[in-house]
Amino acid sequence: MNNKPIGVFDSGLGGLTAVKQIMKEFPNESVVYFGDTGRVPYGTKSPETILQYTRDDINFVRSFDVKMIIIACGTASSQALPMVKYENEDIPITGVVDATVYAAVRATKNKKIGVIGTVGTIKSGAYEKLIYEYDKDIEIHKTACPLFVPLVETGHFDTPVTRLVIEEYLEQIRDAGVDTLILGCTHYPLLKKAIGEYMGDNVVLIDPCAEVVKYLKKKLGSDMLHSDTPDKEQYRYFVSDDPKGFAQNGSIFLEKEIDGQVEKIDIEKY
């Protein structure tokens, strides 16, 4: 039994899809969520800045004495995970990249995997490196999709604009015949329907936040689980800017209203 909360952070709202999965799979667990809405997006920032931001985020969630940390941000986990793991050896940290790759290499049959993500994620090569650690013979087709995040954030989940942008970004990957596509950014699962229709029924779409929670399920031994009674303040949300906007828009990712306080904090101090 371990009644400490799970710490989850993301550059913005997208990591709430991981919280949604935790709520479903582990209804007793407590969560401390941090969304770095004051410094979003990470995907276009330099590697040094991304590392610095990730360190701040880790320090912030650690201030709640969490039992484990999930980095729900694709950019942070693809660029900063090895370093922050090294710096925080005393606590388990899981990034969306590990979990997603683990699922993708198991899903592919023809050994052709597509990887899409932000500019930073794709440039980092983090997914490829990890895929090759599992299997050097896998053929990888990747592309950055910088318009997907703004499309999601403006509610363009499945509009003519969305479909045109999907075609522009994914045509080559589809034509290469991948049977598995890693949605390497927490925002992308919200375009799942439109992406799925474009890629076809035979292509498995790997959703990072769903995978990270499945991965957790394997890791969370009974000694790490929360007791039967959920805490009073089970879900706590913190942001670095615009708590009101987070409370309003977060429900898109959480697929239900945010119940609980959303507090603004000064992340530069961590």
Binding site for its own copies (CB under 8 A): 38-40, 44-46, 49, 146-147, 149-151, 153-154, 156, 160-161, 164-165, 168, 241-242, 245, 268
Per the CB < 8 A criterion, the answer to whether 173 and 143 are in contact is yes
Q: Quick one: CA dihedral 71, 11, 101, 218, positive or negative?
A: positive
CB of 170 to its own copies, least distance (A): 14
Q: Compare residues 11 and 180 and give the one whose CB is closer to its own copies.
A: 11
**Which one of the listed residues 72, 73, 166, 183 is annotated catalytic?**
73
**Which one of the listed residues 16, 40, 181, 185 is annotated catalytic?**
185
Q: Compare residues 40 and 194 and give the one whose CB is closer to its own copies.
A: 40
CB of 50 to its own copies, least distance (A): 10
Rounded to whole angstroms, the Cα distance separating 176 from 4 reads 46
Q: Compare residues 22 and 195 and give the one whose CB is closer to its own copies.
A: 195
CB of 53 to its own copies, least distance (A): 10
DSSP state of 4: P
CB of 33 to its own copies, least distance (A): 19
Q: Per this entry, what is the length of the chain?
A: 270
In the annotation, is 145 catalytic? no
Q: Compare residues 133 and 171 and give the one whose CB is closer to its own copies.
A: 171
CB of 124 to its own copies, least distance (A): 14
Per the CB < 8 A criterion, the answer to whether 169 and 116 are in contact is yes
Q: Compare residues 123 and 214 and give the one whose CB is closer to its own copies.
A: 123
Active site residues: 73, 185
